[in-house]
Amino acid sequence: MGTLAEVLVKEGDHVRKGQLLARIEDRQAQADVESQKASLSSAEADANASEAAVNAADESLHTAQAVIDRGLADLDRMKADFARADGLLKES
C-alpha cells in the first residue's frame, strides 16, 4: 500500500515472471515502523524506571526492617538493664 513512485516498464514491454514492474513509495509505512520503534523504546524505558523504583522500594524495606530489628534489640537490652537495676535496688 502506498503511492506509485516509479513504473519500470512501458506498455507493450515483455516481462518475465518475478520481474519488478513498479516501485511503491512506502513513506507512511516506514513512518509507522519508526513510530512503533519509538513507542517500544519508550515502553522499555518506562519498564526500566519501574524496575528501578521497585528495587529502591525493596532497599528501603530492608533498611526499615534493619531499623526495627535494632530497635527491638535496644528494647531487649534496656529491659535487661532495667531488671538488673531493679534487682540491685531491691537488694539494697
9-58: per-residue pLDDT in tens?
A: 999 999 999 999 999 887 888 888 999 999 999 999 999 999 999 999 99
| Residue of 32, 24, 18 whose CA lies nearest to 2 | 24
Sign of CA dihedral 54, 59, 63, 66: positive
Backbone dihedral angles phi then psi of residue 7, each to the nearest 5 degrees? -105, 125
Tell me the whole-structure pTM to 2 decimals.
0.56
| Domain contains 80 | yes
Cα 65 from Cα 60, distance rounded (Å): 9
**For the chain, what is the domain count?**
1
| Domain contains 81 | yes
User: In 3-state terms, what secondary structure has residue 2?
Assistant: coil
| Domain contains 32 | yes
pLDDT value of residue 75: 98
| Domain contains 85 | yes
Range of the domain at 70: 4-8+21-91
